[in-house]
Every structure is written in structure tokens, then in C-alpha cells.
Structure 1
Amino acid sequence: MAMIRSQISVFINFLFIIHYFLVFYLAQGYDFFYFVQQVRLPSIGPLPGLNLGDNWPGSYCDTKDSSCCYPTTGKPASDFGIHGLWPNNNDGTYPSNCDSSNPYDESKISDLMSRMQQDWPTLACPSNSGSSFWSHEWEKHGTCSESELDQHTYFETALNLKNQTYLLQILESAGIQADGNSYNLSSIQTAIENAVGYAPWIQCNSDAGGNSQLYQVYFCVGPSGSNLIKCPVFPTGTCASSIKFPSF
């Protein structure tokens, strides 16, 4: 009997070791991050086919098929905000949902809550606090970076990256205003690259009238999450040469 118990114990320990290395392997499976800064994307996470970026709230709210609701904490400021921090690979693939044993736990980021509400809100309907959005981002994307970032560090890293990329201020300093007018795509790209040091990728969507408009701005970040880098690969998609920058 003692031998059987010993064998069971060895087998259980073996399973734990296999689980650890499987989680470690999955978490290691990325080359860089897309820094998904969003301003007010839906709490269900990215739309199909989209990757990380800075999202402009006016461009989310004025599309033909979208509606938006202010968070229960109040209307967010007119600003770009975080969409997410997403592990990606140099070949264009990306890992997801890497560790179901480590679910989102809001108590682990309680000290970040005021910053989360300000810089990482959601415009999803019905109005909500943003928790379901943050849970989605951690469980789908954050768990795949566990080799570098625990849950608190993951969210704090994204918040700190936003402070390195004041997009609205950068564009306004270049005379590009959120006023409903159209601007050259190249002017937007150049203004951001000159200020940040790296070329961004711009994603557009269409307003209810079919006009191409600024929607998201993508940056790439090294695997530790600490520094912006030149993007190894950009997402797919195109914008018109002149795009609208709607008000919010």
C-alpha cells in the first residue's frame, strides 16, 4: 500500500511538472507585443482580425453598425486609450488563452484601478465598469506573457506605455485636430514617428457615411514590455490617403 501511495505521489508530481513546463512553453511563445492602446473599445475585446492599437473613441462611436455607452464611472476624456498589450510572433501569428489556471483577479490590480478607469475604459453597451474587458485582455493575451509579466505587471506595463505615447498631444502639436476634418495619412504617420521614434501602423474604419477615418494606431514593444521597438511585421489592412479625424 505504501508503495502504491508513493507511486501515486510521484505521478501527481509528474503531472504538476508537465503542467508547469507546458504553461512556461506557451507563455514563452511570442517575439514581441503589439501595444494595444485603445480609447474605448468594446469589453468583449478586439474585433475579428484586429490587433493591438490606439483606438480613437469618436471612430468607434460614429460607425454605421456600432453604438457606444459611457462607462459607469462616467464619460471618458477625449483621448486615445488602451485596447491591450498583445503578444505576437514575427511570422504574424499570435498565441492566445495560454493559461486557464490563472484567471483575471481584480484584487491583484486594486492599486491601479483609478488609472485603469481613466486610461483603459470601455465604450461597450450596456454601460459597465470595464472589468469584463480587462478580464478578456488578461485571459486571452496577458496569460501568454507570464514568463515576463505577472498579472499586476501586465496591466501596469500597458498603463506606463501609454504615458510614453501621448498620441492626442502629438497630433495636436502637428496641427492634426479631432475636429471632423480630413488629414493626409502620411502626415499622421510622420508626426507620430517623429515624436515617438518608431513608425506606427494606422488602422482605419468607416463612419456611417462611408468616410475612411482614423481608428487605431499600432506600436510594437519588446518581449519584456519595457521598450518600443521597430515593428517586425505590421497587421494587414489599408487606409485611404486622406482620412477623417472625428470629434468625440
Structure 2
Amino acid sequence: MKSMGSFFFFFNVSLVLLLQYLSVLCVSQDFDFFNFVQEWPGSYCDTQKSCCYPATGKREADFGIRGLCLNCNDGSYPSNCDSSNPFKQSDILALTSSLQKDWPTLACRSGNGIELWSHEWEKHGTCSESVLQQHNYFKTALSLKQRSNLLQALNSARIEANGRSYSLRSMKGTIKEGIGYALFIECNKDSSGNSQLYQVYLCVDTSASNFTESPVLPKCKCGSQIQFPSF
């Protein structure tokens, strides 16, 4: 019993040291990949928390950008990397109308989106400065959304936002066919407790140029059938 206890002690210590090593390695390389996350607005609103429309009014029924986030292979991620480089609205003036359309906010302090974009830049964007300065960070996210075109891919397979349930496998397979790589789908619960399509995670390489295979796919908790609510 003593030898078994010693084994588990040394195993746990070794595991901690390995995770620390991987974390340091990721920091030394800045990050290993981007997660490009898009959310379905119908699922954001169809919860007990509900939602609010921005000052520009109700957005069109399409996926919206949730974030362009840096990640490490060990599951950690850098954040809030440079407090000396705050969000500057002047840097994205030419992109404002596109951001209001494709990266809007539904939070009930929504306003015109500036608070959301500021948060995303300061938490995630400041960590990507070696690759993307502020204007290009938002421009790149907008480009990735257009290239992925999730709603068109799903609709072409007759998977539509009509409140019906579809198989998780068919949803993932349809999107993967268009993107070329595996992806992660996150679900949330509607006001009745049903599982519904909420967010889609696509992996992007460190140059923020190409979709790629994700080294880290979290365990899906959606169930085999999920709803696709209307918006």
C-alpha cells in the first residue's frame, strides 16, 4: 500500500510539472492557435436570461461573431496582455457598420457595441499584437465570418432555424464539409430546459489566415439531438 501511495504521489507531481512546462512553453510561443467563435442569436435570446437589441435595432437572423481568442495546446489561454494598448474607436471607424452587422451585442447593456468590442480587444486582441494590430484584428474576424458562412452551409443541408431538432452529427458534418476541419459545437438550454445550438468554435492558425485542425476539442455536452431556434 505504501508503494502504491508513493506511485500516485510521484505521478501527481509529474503531471503538475508537465502542465507547468506546457504552460510556460505556450507563453514563450505566445499561443498555439486561435479559436474563432460564432453564436446563434436565437439561442442567446431563447433562455431565461433573454436578450436586448442594440441601438441599431434587431439584427438579421444570422450567426454573429462572439470572439477571436488565442489558445494554447494545454487548454490555457493568454488574456489582458497589454493594458497600455486600450481600445481606440478611431481605429475601427471604417469597420463600424460591418461590426454592427456581424459582431453585434445582445446583452442588456448593449448600446452601440462599443463596450463589447472594447472588452474583446482588451481581453483577447491585445495578446495578438505580434500578429494583428487593432484594426486588422477586427477586420480579420469579419473576414473569417464571411469565409465560414455557417448559416448558408446549414441551410444548404436543409438544417434551418425553425425550432426543430436536428442531429448534432449532421450539423457538425455539414459545417466540417464546408470548412474542411473538425469543429466544436456548444449548446445552451432554452427556457424549457431543451438543448439548443448556441456557439460554433472553428480553429484558425497562428497567422489568423487559415482554418486548421484544432489540437483541443472540448467534450461536447449537447446530446445527440439539438434544437435550432428561430430568431
Q: What TM-score, normalized to structure 1?
A: 0.81
Deviation at 1:127, TM superposition (A): 3.9
Which residue of structure 1 aligns with residue 166 of structure 2? 183
Instruction: Give % identity.
Output: 61
Q: Is the 8 A contact 1:27 1:146 kept in 2?
A: no
Which is worse superposed, 67-76 or 133-142? 67-76
What RMSD over aligned residues (CA atoms) do the two structures have, in Å?
1.4
Do residues 59 (structure 1) and 43 (structure 2) align? yes
Do residues 238 (structure 1) and 221 (structure 2) align? yes
Which residue of structure 2 aligns with residue 212 of structure 1? 195
Letter in 2 for 1:77: E
Letter in 1 for 2:212: I
CA distance in 1, matches of 2:176, 2:92: 32
CA distance in 2, matches of 1:207, 1:27: 41
CA distance in 1, matches of 2:50, 2:172: 28
Distance 1:186 1:237, change over 3 A: closer
CA distance in 2, matches of 1:149, 1:235: 26
Do residues 109 (structure 1) and 92 (structure 2) align? yes
Deviation at 1:195, TM superposition (A): 1.2
Residue 222 (structure 1) aligned to one of 205, 213, 222: 205
**In the TM superposition, what whole-angstrom CA distance separates every residue of 1:74-124 from its partner, at most 9, and x where no partner exists?**
110000010110000011100000000000001001111111111000011
Letter in 2 for 1:62: D
Give the secondary structure class of the aligned counterpart of 1:218. strand
Which residue of structure 2 aligns with residue 31 of structure 1? 32
Provide runs of 4+ in structure 1 moved above 3 Å: 25-28
Give the secondary structure class of the aligned counterpart of 1:235. coil
Q: Is the 8 A contact 1:26 1:144 kept in 2?
A: no
Which structure 1 residue ranges, 5 or more long, are not aligned? 1-24, 37-53
Q: Is the 8 A contact 2:184 2:220 kept in 1?
A: no
Q: Is the 8 A contact 1:213 1:243 kept in 2?
A: yes
Deviation at 1:238, TM superposition (A): 1.3
Letter in 2 for 1:107: S
Give the secondary structure class of the aligned counterpart of 2:175. helix
Do residues 72 (structure 1) and 72 (structure 2) align? no
Deviation at 1:27, TM superposition (A): 9.2
CA distance in 1, matches of 2:189, 2:151: 20
